[in-house]
A and B are shown apart, each in its own frame.
Chain A
Amino acid sequence: MKSGEYTMKVNDNCVGCGQCTAFCKLDAIEVRGKANMTAACIDCKTCSAYCPVKAIEA
């Protein structure tokens, strides 16, 4: 299970375009109206660079 040690956060800028999930190598982001990191997230921060609205805060 995902615990508090993970630091990736999706802020209110997120529109749910899914660009992050397409570039996530671990398939760790669920998108439905908004992106959500799942337990598979390892905080690699790759997705953050691809977000067009600066919604993923590392």
Chain B
Amino acid sequence: MKAIIIGSGLGGLLSAAKLSQSGYEVDVFERLPIVGGRFTNIPYKGFQLSTGALHMLPHGPTGPLAQLLEEIGVNVEIVRRKPNVVIRIPRKRGDTDYKYGHKDILFEDFRTQFSLLNRIKLIYYIVSTRKNPPTGQSFEQWCRKHLDQDWTYRLSDAFFGWALSLKAADVPVEEGFAIIENLYHYGGPGVPMGGCKGITNALVNVIRSNGGIIHTSSEVSSLITEDGKVTGVIAEGKEYNTDIVLSDIGHPATSKMIGEETGILGMDKYAHNAAELKPSAGIKICLSSDKTLIGHGGVLLTPYAKRVNGINEVTNVDPSLAPEGKHLTMAHQCVHWNDMDNLEKEIQLGLEDLMDIFAGKEYEVLLIQSYSNDWPVNRSPSGADLKNKTPIPNLYVVGDGAKGKGGIEVEGIALGVKNSMQDLLIK
């Protein structure tokens, strides 16, 4: 059996590795000269920056991605350090920014910032929402009705901004609770040794050792279909036959590649749904410093910043991601769809935040990277993902445009790949 994978992002490589391990003859086509999509390293001034992800897996060594990697036989060390997640709050209660100093609290202690009444309510909701998960509203709307307090909004915006690059108002409450549940179930974040590329490189090795071929600088221009099934692709003018195709380029681009005039049942609806997806946008600011800026290998959430949602300093776990004696710190901020036209202002606000958050510390801005539209944070905003199937039964979509439920970023990609594999390998 033959499988063709379009795109060598994390979803494409995971699928290719799993299929090659299961006996498929695999061909991966990548348009760029480099492999890994938004999940690999780019060397810059001696630092290992990344093409997208922040060198961190949301659920670390025990999450869906780590589990799938283990299943595929990929050996990458994923390190979870304590403290896992820390929240920076103003030193004085009542302050609304970090201008007059700050203190850090452990994520586990987020309850201490609620009013007494809300702390009591929270105990009740932890049980009741598990029994009857709320539906049909945004996470923010639910909070307004149940835990109406400034802290609730700040913390949820920082958390979902960091994890999903979305505001709490844009997260469906079902997805929000699924994510919180997964946080308890799978545990907190971890850093893969070697950064994102540590994982994608290891996947490439698995694919190659199983006889799979990865074609770089090779763009798939069209699909060949026959009787409603895909039988091959055309890449760089050459025809390649296949039994199945996995597309890692998202639903909208996949639907365009199928085209409209195929007569395939359900195409109209599929094309329409794909076009409705709004990719999530964000800004990553990469910093270099001699001394550590946050002092640990976990996440620092910054709910009192104007724009920055969270920060990590991966060199506290893997010093090889920076030149000797240097630290690499990365800050992430969500960019709301309404602010897309004003990216320059959003960047400026993010830089001002960092000056407040790291007041008195010395650092240098290495690179400011922004993500949106066709190269976004997520091709599909979490909670709105279409599933992995398409109207063509032997064509699946994987990647951040088809994440599994409750899966943050790459964890969602792993869940989506798992779902697709279950379907395909049982067939």
Contacts and interface: CB of A to CB of B under 8 A. Distances in A.
Contact of B368 (A23, A32, A50): A32
A50 B32 contact: yes
B51 A17 contact: yes
Contacts, number: 62
Interface string A33-58: 11000000000000001101100000
A7 interface: no
A15 interface: yes
B224 interface: no
B370 A19 contact: no
A31 to B, nearest CB: 7
A19 B371 CA distance: 11
Contacts of B44: 21-22
A17 B34 contact: no
Contacts of A50: 32-34
Contacts of A49: 32-33, 217
Contact of B375 (A31, A32, A34, A52): A52
A52 B368 CA distance: 17
B344 interface: yes
B375 A33 contact: no
B42 interface: yes
Interface string A12-34: 01011111011100000001111
A19 B367 CA distance: 10
A33 B347 contact: yes
Interface residues of B, number: 25
Contacts of A15: 370-376
A16 B376 CA distance: 10
B43 interface: yes
A40 B42 CA distance: 21
Nearest to B219: A54
B368 A19 contact: no
B180 to A, nearest CB: 30
A23 B42 contact: yes
A8 to B, nearest CB: 17
Contact of B373 (A18, A23, A53): A53
Contact of A33 (B42, B43, B217, B343): B343
Contact of A18 (B31, B34, B368, B374): B368
B49 A22 contact: yes
Given A22-B44, A53-B374, A16 B343 contact: yes
A17 B34 CA distance: 15
A17 B32 contact: no
B368 A31 contact: yes
Interface in B337-391: 343-344, 347, 367-376
Interface of A: 13, 15-19, 21-23, 31-34, 49-50, 52-53
Interface of B: 31-34, 37, 42-44, 49, 51-52, 217, 343-344, 347, 367-376
18 contacts: A15-B373, A16-B368, A16-B369, A17-B51, A17-B371, A17-B375, A18-B49, A18-B368, A21-B44, A22-B43, A22-B49, A33-B344, A33-B347, A33-B370, A34-B343, A52-B32, A52-B37, A52-B374
